[in-house]
Structures are given as C-alpha cells and as structure tokens.
C-alpha cells in the first residue's frame, strides 16, 4: 500500500497536495496538482508551501488554478490493498521452510571465517 506522500520541505510533515517542477531552460517553476508518482526531479509540496513558493529574480512561476486538494485513492490502489490483505490472510499458503543448520551448527546466515595472517 502506498503511504501518504509528505511535503518535500525540510521539517514539514504535512501531506503533499502539489508537485513542483523546474524548467531551467525557461527559468520557470511549475506548481501543479500532485503527480501520480513521485519523480526524482520534482518536489512534492503541501498546500501552504505550494501557495507561498517564491523564485529567484527573473524567474516565472506557473501555478495550477484552483484549490489544491489531497488526492483521492484510485481504484488501483484500493484493489492492490485488498489483494495484499487477501494474500496475507490466505490459509492455503505453504508454511515457510526452516533454514538448514549452518556449518557451525547454529541457524543463521552469518559464518565465522578463519583469519588470514
């Protein structure tokens, strides 16, 4: 289940409702509705930070007209959640296999290797 995306501003814990992207070649910052997926070159912003965004002198801000609102979960997200819960609750799943004993006689994934001189 996807978690609620938070504002990218340091110290802000509010949920994101807008996405900020920069068009460096045009000296423009674009603030629009929250993108469906988090992108590496964009920033998620809460409503306060989306509305108060300022840019350097000579830059332009293009803003989404209208109110920013938290996105509604899509049916895809709800379906994925329902499937995950259904899968976790299945009783016909095979039991997890026990790990074989390691060379030391103890269970686990770590081993002691002889040191080199």
The three-class DSSP label of residue 106 is coil
| Mean pLDDT over the full length of the chain | 76
**pLDDT tens figures, 16-60:** 999 999 988 889 999 998 888 888 889 999 999 999 999 999 999
Closest among 5, 7, 21, 6 to 49, alpha carbons compared? 7
In a domain, 40, yes or no: yes
In a domain, 38, yes or no: yes
In a domain, 58, yes or no: yes
Q: Is the dihedral of CA 53, 13, 7, 76 positive or negative?
A: negative
- When divided into structural domains, the chain yields a total of 1
Q: Yes or no: say if 17 and 66 are a contact pair by the CB < 8 Å rule.
A: no
In a domain, 33, yes or no: yes
pLDDT at 38: 81
pLDDT at 40: 84
Range of the domain at 53: 18-63
In a domain, 8, yes or no: no
In a domain, 46, yes or no: yes
pLDDT at 42: 92
């Amino acid at each position: 289940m996807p978690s609620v995306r938070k504002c990218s501003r340091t110290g802000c814990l509010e949920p994101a409702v807008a996405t900020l992207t920069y068009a460096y070649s045009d000296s423009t910052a674009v603030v629009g509705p929250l993108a469906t997926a988090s992108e590496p070159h964009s920033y998620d912003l809460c409503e306060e930070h989306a509305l108060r965004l300022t840019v350097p002198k000579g830059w332009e801000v293009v803003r989404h007209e209208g109110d920013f609102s938290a996105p509604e979960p899509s049916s895809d997200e709800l379906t994925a959640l329902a499937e995950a819960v259904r899968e976790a609750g299945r009783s016909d799943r095979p039991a997890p296999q026990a790990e074989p004993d390691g060379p030391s006689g103890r269970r686990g994934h770590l081993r002691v290797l002889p040191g080199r001189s």
